[in-house]
Amino acid sequence: MLSSTIVSSSAGIISTTSTISAPQLGVLGVVALIILLSLKEILSASKSWNKNLACSLDMSILPLLIAFFAIVLFKVTEILK
């Protein structure tokens, strides 16, 4: 009985620590947005810049920008309450 309790409680600890929570995903999204914006700025000055590359970067930057503004809006409303 004791060994099954230890196994189940340790499995619960592993599953709680191995999942990614919402704040960590927010940080990951902001870091990805910074990297993509930097990449777009650097590549726009190179000779490999073309319309397809610009379009693909814009398609990945736009959802991250929306998520960034949602995070900022949520944090501001959280502070004001």
Question: What range defines the domain where residue 64 resides?
Answer: 20-80
The verdict on residue 6 lying in a domain is no
> pLDDT tens-digit profile of 39-57?
999 999 988 889 999 999 9
- Does 49 fall in a domain? yes
- Of residues 21, 34, 38, the one with CA closest to residue 65: 34
Residue 9 in any domain: the answer is no
Helix H or strand E encompassing 45: none
Q: How many domains does the chain have?
A: 1
Residue 46 lies in a domain: yes
Residue 76: what pLDDT? 94
24 token code pair: 């960590």
Residue 81's SS3 state is: coil
What's the pTM?
0.68
Q: Are 40 and 55 in contact (CB under 8 A)?
A: no
